[in-house]
Amino acid sequence: MRLVPRWALLSSGCAPVLLAGGWTIAGLLEGSAYDPVTQTISVLAAHGAPGFWVMTGALVALGACHLLTAWGLRPAALAGRVALGAGGVTALVVALLPAPDSGGSLRHGSVAALGFTLLAVWPVLAANRSRAAPWGLRPAPALMATGLMGLGAAWFLIEIQGNGAAGIAERLVTSVQSLWPFVVVASCVRHRDHDEFPT
């Protein structure tokens, strides 16, 4: 029996492409007024921004991808699947609660922080201690992924408070968070120990 359905490769693989494509196209539509080094992705999805619909659409698609991947990732521990799916829901909510065109938003920021947290902890929550587990679901790689995401989030917080390279830090951590589900799904698809690993 296949550990994960093959369509999970599509849903997980599309997530980083849609996210990066969204911020790239929305940034081009914004023009020189937007600085991707210092400004966040939320600026691109703010009301009135030229790329508002592009970035909002990318966030909705990202959330849907995470939800589908969580549904198909049967070998992962339930807590991890729930965290990944909830991270997808937060992406949908962030799209529904865009940042204002100037200043901050407590609602938007709170939901975004919750999403960062859920997507950072899902790898360790999804881990399986079985020696027959697919590589992406083993404790060491899961802990490494969560640690990397946590460091990226800490860097983002430092940069945003100091008006530094917040845009780069945010793109790095969101890229890792959107790519890790694909890594896990790919490791499950390649896994050969079907009989030893419980599904």
Residue 108: HSE in the Cβ half-sphere, 13 Å Cα cutoff: 18
Is residue 196's pLDDT more than 70? Answer: no
How much is the pLDDT for 171? 96
Band of residue 193 on the pLDDT scale cut at 50, 70, 90: very low
How much is the pLDDT for 183? 97
- The string of pLDDT tens digits covering residues 155-166 is 999 998 887 899
Band of residue 104 on the pLDDT scale cut at 50, 70, 90: low
Band of residue 103 on the pLDDT scale cut at 50, 70, 90: low
How much is the pLDDT for 63? 97
The pTM of this model reads: 0.90
Q: What is the mean pLDDT of residues 114-121?
A: 96
CA distance 169 to 48: 24
- The string of pLDDT tens digits covering residues 2-20 is 679 999 999 999 999 999 9
- Average pLDDT, whole number, for the chain? 90
Mapping DSSP to helix (H, G, I), strand (E, B) and coil, where does residue 50 land? coil
> What are the distances in angstroms from CA 79 to CA 126, 128, 137?
6, 11, 13
Max distance between CA atoms of the chain, in angstroms, equals 56
User: Residue type for 61, please?
Assistant: A
